[in-house]
Amino acid sequence: MGDIVNLTDFKNVKASEKPIPTTQELFDHCLEGAIPDWEASFFKNQTGDLLSTESGIKISDHRDFAQLKTFETEIGLGPIVFAPGTMMKRANFSGWVAGFSMNGNSFATPEMTTEQDARAFNALMYLRLKNILKV
């Protein structure tokens, strides 16, 4: 007969050998969770509430450029915004995209219908990734 093996010890060793996720993988994970949260708040007209909850900073209407700019400044976000048709790497690019850089990586939102939506979703992604990375 063979030896009895404690599988808990095996599991613990394997868990410690897992590779550390890259910043891009963490962003992708944030994106997977943010899209349903964004859609739920967007269709209830509560995106300001979602951003306020994530940041602790009050924003009542993400569609107001002045509020949005103030919010971005207060969270330390200097967004990059691409208008429809201006991104060379995306052939069929037809929406607004916003992005940011963190830890030497660049990140971008999915295409959105308005500049404000792209910038607000970008802020959400920035806050969530910043929270995970503790930067």
End-to-end C-alpha distance for the chain, whole angstroms:
53
pLDDT of residue 4: 61
* Of 85 and 118, more confident: 118
What CATH class has 21-133?
A: alpha beta
d(CA 5, CA 131): 39
- Domain range summary for the chain, segments of one domain joined by +: 21-133
pLDDT of residue 10: 56
**How high does pLDDT run on average in the chain?**
88
Contact 86, 68 (CB under 8 A): no
| pLDDT at residue 124 greater than cutoff 80 | yes
Q: Which range is least confidently modeled, 15-19, 26-30, 110-114?
A: 15-19
pLDDT of residue 135: 80
| pLDDT at residue 19 greater than cutoff 60 | yes
* Of 34 and 8, more confident: 34
> Is the C-alpha dihedral spanning 110, 116, 119, 125 positive or negative?
negative
The pTM for the full model equals 0.83
Per-residue pLDDT of 70-117, as tens digits, reads: 999 999 999 899 998 787 666 677 899 999 999 899 999 999 999 999
